[in-house]
A and B are shown apart, each in its own frame.
Chain A
């Protein structure tokens, strides 16, 4: 015991040499987002868009589904700031309400991708061997098809609706996400602390949840963000070809499709939904890039 207290003394000397740092990793992360210009602005813009979507009933000047028969295909005016469509519905109101359908669909799609993709990727990396081979070959086959074609096939089976479109988009993105998760998890698998966990006798689920997930969480967050952008585009694309949201639901992809018929008479009909999609996807991707730089400074500027 005497020896231990002696080592304790010398340890105290060491302790003072170790730099004192704030201990919460989560707090650091929020701070870092705040200090990164790109992350800050894009996150701010996205939150704004979400808030507008939530408060659409308060902000929208008109009922998005109410036709004004006296104002068919009117251009932007004081009464209808962004103009009206072919049956006289207010475009601005429809755009604001469209945030709800578009972002909900994208989020649910990404939630599906994230849950199943992470699961497949983790299992594949952790178990390895034949299971890994089988799972990854299936993913390879699916990856050989463009996501949108895969989504098309799924919608064709399920039938066209917004709910089915988001399921389709969600499932179609799984192969890509699973591969990314597997890659990230493989680097963790070979690390010493996973071996240490095995030597301790921890359960597989504990190792996966406490050793793998916290360490690949950053990578997953980055790709989840980037996948949201893809999901918005894919849902819009499915809606555009009539397999997603059905009229009269205001959804950006559907609105774009309606607008294309009048592209020469009423430019605003296709332009504003297009701009809305572009700006949201742009800022989502921007956020994703900024997050990636934060987690992996090596890829900065790539």
Chain B
């Protein structure tokens, strides 16, 4: 029986727009009521187009961006309510791996310095640091001889290993992976994904895996959430979602995954129109201008995420 580790309830984040003096203040709702549950040892994949708020969601969980409203319950405590100083205690258990390993590492620090930063930040005694550093390097497949090198001396895949090493030195419970393999070659991608899966087994990690690549998410995630314009439109077990997507947007996304079998006849759902501006989202269901099944209700009423056969979907087609 797996236990609930992290619960995100109705997470909102809006950014104020630069407004002129006499205009009413306007906001971009980057994340709009996202609700997630993460169990121990589980991986949640969050997918969606660029700008749909998936990275913002990840950053809000760590309070790198302060959420506007909503609850993030970790170990029974709502971490959006605690003070910033107290937050440090929770950072030890929730770490993050960033998309661009070159940008997320200080070019002037050595690999050893980068990986030990979390140990120093959380005052791990000096005598343990080297041992932990060595163990971690081994876990991610880096050799000790590379300790005193600088990030620019590594290939993209190795750099991401350093990024992962930094995230797991404190042996956290949750790692938020923000597009960890998007900047890598396909061959290196699978190595990193395998590494992540091995680490999950070995250290009992839970992942929140943010990606725009459905293939990658299918490989690593147990549950998948699909986001569209800041809203979670579907949340289901991976197998359910990939074999029988419910939301029209999910259907379109999944039909766009390239198939390895050229003879397989596949109906492609091609979305019409552009992604609307998040500053000026359409009324009602945000997906209705691009949806083939849209009716009048969709234009006026925004569907809420509801349980449909043990999974969650936000679409009027399934609400009766």
Contacts and interface: CB of A to CB of B under 8 A. Distances in A.
Interface of A: 1, 3-4, 6-8, 10-11, 14-15, 17-19, 21, 23, 25, 191-193, 195-203, 206, 210-211, 214-215, 217
B195 A200 contact: no
A199 B62 contact: yes
Interface residues of B, number: 46
B109 A200 contact: no
Given A196-B166, A201-B91, A214 B153 contact: no
Nearest to B161: A11
Contacts of A4: 139, 141, 195, 198, 202
Contacts of A195: 64, 98, 104
B148 to A, nearest CB: 6
The 7 A-B pairs at the shortest CB distance, nearest first, are namely: A201-B91, A192-B103, A214-B108, A192-B104, A202-B121, A193-B106, A201-B88
Given A1-B202, A10-B191, A196-B96, 20 more contacts: A4-B139, A4-B198, A4-B202, A6-B194, A7-B194, A11-B141, A11-B191, A17-B155, A18-B154, A23-B150, A191-B103, A192-B103, A195-B98, A195-B104, A196-B98, A196-B104, A196-B166, A201-B87, A214-B106, A217-B108
Contacts of B316: none
A59 B37 CA distance: 80
A193 B105 contact: yes
Nearest to A8: B141
A235 B118 CA distance: 46
Contacts of B120: 202, 206
A201 B118 contact: yes
A108 B70 CA distance: 54
Nearest to A214: B108
Contact of A19 (B64, B153, B195): B153
A200 B121 contact: yes
Contacts of A19: 153
B91 A199 contact: yes
A18 B149 CA distance: 12
Contacts of B107: 215
Contacts of B87: 201
Contacts of A25: 108, 150
Contact of B104 (A3, A18, A193, A206): A193
B109 A214 contact: yes
Which residue, of B117, B122, B154, has the highest number of chain A Cβ atoms within 10 A? Answer: B117
B189 interface: no
Contacts of A192: 98, 100, 103-105
A7 B96 contact: no
15 contacts: A1-B202, A4-B141, A7-B191, A10-B191, A11-B158, A11-B161, A18-B154, A192-B100, A192-B104, A193-B103, A196-B98, A200-B91, A200-B95, A206-B121, A215-B107
Nearest to B101: A192
Which residue, of A3, A4, A15, has the highest number of chain B Cβ atoms within 10 A? Answer: A4
B150 to A, nearest CB: 7
Contact of A210 (B109, B148, B155, B194): B109
B157 interface: yes
B64 A23 contact: no
A17 B120 CA distance: 32
Contacts of A202: 117-118, 120-121
A206 B191 CA distance: 33
Interface in B66-107: 87-88, 91-92, 95-96, 98, 100, 103-107
A8 B198 CA distance: 12
